[in-house]
Amino acid sequence: MTFPHAPPASAAGTWRLGDLTVNRLGFGAMRLTGSGAFDRGVPSDRAKVLGVLRRAVELGVNHLDTAAFYFSSLRSANELINSALAPYSDDLVITTKVGPGRDPSGEWLWATPEQLRGQVEENLRQLGRDHLDVVNLRIRGKQLAPFVELFGALAELREAGLVRHLGLSNVGLDHLAAAQRIAPVVCVQNRYGIGATAEQQAVLEACGEQRIAFVPFFAIAGEGREGGPAERAGDQAAVLDIARAHGASVAQVRLAWTLQQGEHVLAIPGTGNPEHLVENVAAAALRLTGPELARLADC
């Protein structure tokens, strides 16, 4: 999909995270640190990814998704965002996640309710901010008891002014209902993409009914997940056919499909490649037809 002038991220429209308005096409920071964001691989080229962040903002991206646990041996996503974009513009919204953590060796840890404040303060320090716009509580497992305690602790940090708005990640409908009995929820960030399960679809629809932003992760990567883009996992013939028909890439079709699942759906594709960034942002202007959407629904 080529354009004489790259369309801005605003081409997909806007949504509100509480009192914060964002363009629906945003940016995910996970890949900024290099292939080692999760597997201790090769760190990214610092100058290159700083340029990607600045270019993203130039293209109209005003919603960044990050986390303190996005780091490789030499790179921290939060520090890169701070270095590239501070002092931050008034319309830039930075969403981060707590719950999981990693020690310096990269080993995973999961916070107790008492440890969440330390995770929030670490994000504040790395980003150079006095409060966080949106904090998503990412959970593991299906049990409600630890989740309720964790979200309650995060709600206390919101009351203390360290956090402006709260969201959830990797949750089901019961978690969403439990959280809303404690504090307002402005977004849900779950795995979702073409071929989504009925359970995943149900959460998306519930968020739409309640005017809560739904923010898919792995919308492009699909089953490839952290390992790489969807092309490496094998694309459905329908996706490839539709991409050819529009002169677009597979990634652009997947992003356009994601955005057309509801006005409350946001996209946060990430990349450390400036060319891929422009391609991803251009997907904000791609509109799939009704028959194309129906065909993809059968994938």
Q: Fill in the amino acid letter for 191.
A: R
The percent of residues above 90 in pLDDT, for the chain, comes to 79
With 0-12 CB in 10 A as exposed, 13-18 as middle and 19+ as buried, what is 154? Answer: buried
Alpha-carbon distances, residue 267 vs 128, 163, 259, 276 (angstroms): 25, 22, 7, 15
Q: Fill in the amino acid letter for 198.
A: A
Give yes or no: 70 in active site: yes
In this predicted structure, what is the pLDDT of residue 142? 77
Give how far the C-alpha of residue 73 lies from the chain's centroid of Cα atoms, to the nearest Å. Answer: 22
Query: Tens digits of per-residue pLDDT, 227-285?
Result: 344 443 445 799 999 999 999 999 999 999 999 999 999 999 999 999 999 999 999 99
- Give the separation between CA 267 and CA 80, rounded to whole angstroms: 21
The SS3 of residue 20 is: strand
Provide the β-strand partners of residue 168: 137, 188
pTM of the model: 0.92
> Cβ contacts of residue 35 below 8 Å, gap of 6+?
41, 42, 72
- Give the separation between CA 191 and CA 206, rounded to whole angstroms: 15
pLDDT band at 34 (very low <50, low <70, confident <90, very high): confident
Residue 81 is encoded by which pair of tokens? 């965002």
Show the domains of the chain with their CATH numbers. 9-297 (3.20.20.100)
- Give the separation between CA 154 and CA 207, rounded to whole angstroms: 21
Which is catalytic among the residues 27, 38, 70, 192? 70
